[in-house]
Amino acid sequence: MKKHNFSAGPCILPQEVLKKAAEAVVNYNDINLSLIEISHRSKEFIAIMEEARSLVKELLNLPNGYSVLFLQGGASLEFLMTAYNLLKVNGKAAYLDTGTWSSKALKEAKLLGDIEVIASSKDKGYNYIPKNYEIPSAIDYLHCTSNNTIFGTQIKEFPKTDSLLVCDMSSDIFSRQLDFSQFDLVYAGAQKNMGPAGTTLVIVKDEILGKTNRKIPSMLDYQVHIQKDSMFNTPPVFAVYVSMLTLQWLKNLGGVAAIEKINKQKAELLYNEIDRNPLFEGFANKEDRSVMNVTFNLTNEEAHKETFDTLWNNAGINGLKGHRSVGGYRASIYNAMPIESVQVLVDVMKQLEKQA
């Protein structure tokens, strides 16, 4: 029996996607070759790449003038690529510091220029999203992280700026409807809502590139990757293929609008139990709670941790422990997580209450 997978990433994928991917690894489309041994220059893989990019544009309702790339290196490489491609020589950028990944992003950007942290929630352990901050006018771009997996916070309303707006959406892209015309650059690691680890989605407005007066290494230059259709070097064939399958699954489900409703139901079910059950307490401020990553603690860890851990393990739940840097518990309820699995966790929490 498959476990209820609450892992933060690599995370749960739809069962039908896993089945198709497994078949393709053995024999892709009855060509008697494995997907992972065909040439990335073959008509079969070129069709996969084109379909994947087309689905991104369709599902996110992207305006004209944006390029879609499937690259490698994870969001961690994008921390550097963003600065290389957008930060002008002797320029300045502004960053919102809302958690571990945004702090890593600004650390990389500081290697190339002047980076100002205009707001941070570090003072309270990153349990909220800063608001009412001032955005400098003379900046090349503003960088934010839409969803913070470790701390369970999520931006509900994005900042308005006259400069370029960049967003790391690694852990909540395709989970809710957004107006993507407000963003100039979006990047996201695949291993949350799109597919397996190994590829990174980049969505970039074409007109913003090539204006830094900076020499950019080829592998870090978005324009090079656009010109080569995401195949400047050998692409991560399997990760792109599974991402394509996952996007097809999402489209067949009814698209982002449909999954947004389901995601809200899942989050509401779990947060309601956390708020109702006296043995648990949420970590993030209520107004900033993530729909993707639900972080919570036991109110008396010494008294109940051993019993609770036994109960959820016996219920077939996997990946519930909080990030090693903060402890507690974290239930990651990405797109492919069925509401039935969330109900299993809620039932376990109620069971603990009865036994206490």
Copy the structure tokens of residue 31.
């060509």
Torsion sign over Cα 132, 180, 148, 283: positive
Is 305 tagged catalytic? no
Count of CB atoms within 10 A of residue 58's CB?
A: 13
Tell me which of 97, 101, 172, 288 is the catalytic residue.
Answer: 101
Count of CB atoms within 10 A of residue 160's CB?
A: 9
Instruction: Report yes or no: 142 and 159 within 8 Å, Cβ to Cβ.
Output: yes
Tell me which of 140, 168, 172, 221 is the catalytic residue.
Answer: 168
The b/e string for 270-299 (b: 16+ C-beta within 10 A; e otherwise) is bbebbeebebbebbbeeebbbbbbbbbbbe
Is 168 tagged catalytic? yes
d(CA 60, CA 153): 22
Rg (CA), the chain: 21
Is 192 tagged catalytic? yes
Tell me which of 192, 221, 266, 288 is the catalytic residue.
Answer: 192
Residue where the block lists tokens 């600004």: 106
Which active-site residues does the annotation give?
101, 168, 192
